[in-house]
Amino acid sequence: MQKRLLAPAALGRSATYRKAFPYGACTVLKAWYNVRMKIVVIDGQGGKIGRIIVEQILSEALPCELFVIGTNAVATEQMLKGGATNAATGENPVVVLSRDADFIIGPIGIVLADSMLGEITPVIAHAVSASHAHKILIPINKCVTISGVQDLPMKEYIKLAVDKLKESL
């Protein structure tokens, strides 16, 4: 017998619910009870984007628990140099930390299977895209072109992403 997947409305996620809690009820309750939000930064390749994100989040002194995940050791090392203290490398940490993250930040490739020269596996892409976390994705116009997105320097995109995070916390 084949399992049936339920639509979001059947799970209690009606349009009214989504309007009342755009970032999810859990995020609203955490903010209400002054619990630190769990932010996961994911990056691959050389880790430069992840490092800049980490540096900006730490410079803002946001009330959060920051976790970084590199798809390779070089990316993880770069994010650690940016000041992160909780770090991991590989596919399984993405799966585990995405389950209960409040925010996931990274380049847009983290939701596209086989992107970043194959570093993003289908398992990673699924874990990130299926997560209930609010995703803040940075557009990288190398292999994917997103229409309607301004052509800005990378640091400006990252600043906009961190500003969005700041206003959401």
Confidence of residue 16 (pLDDT cuts 50, 70, 90): low
Give percent above pLDDT 70 in the chain. Answer: 79
For residues 94 and 12, the model is more confident at 94
**What's the token pair of residue 39?**
């932010």
Q: Determine, yes or no, domain membership for 7.
A: no
- Indicate the pTM of the whole model: 0.77
Domain that holds residue 128: 20-168
Q: Determine, yes or no, domain membership for 8.
A: no
Query: What is the number of other CB atoms lying within 10 angstroms of the CB of residue 39?
Result: 24
For residues 21 and 95, the model is more confident at 95
Average pLDDT score over residue span 96-115: 93
Contact 130, 99 (CB under 8 A): no
Q: Determine, yes or no, domain membership for 60.
A: yes
CATH number at residue 100: 3.40.50.1380
Q: Determine, yes or no, domain membership for 14.
A: no
Contact 87, 68 (CB under 8 A): yes
**What's the token pair of residue 60?**
């803002």
Predicted pLDDT of residue 54: 95
Q: Can you tell me the distance from the alpha carbon of 103 to that of 160, in angstroms, rounded to the nearest whole number? A: 15
Q: Determine, yes or no, domain membership for 113.
A: yes
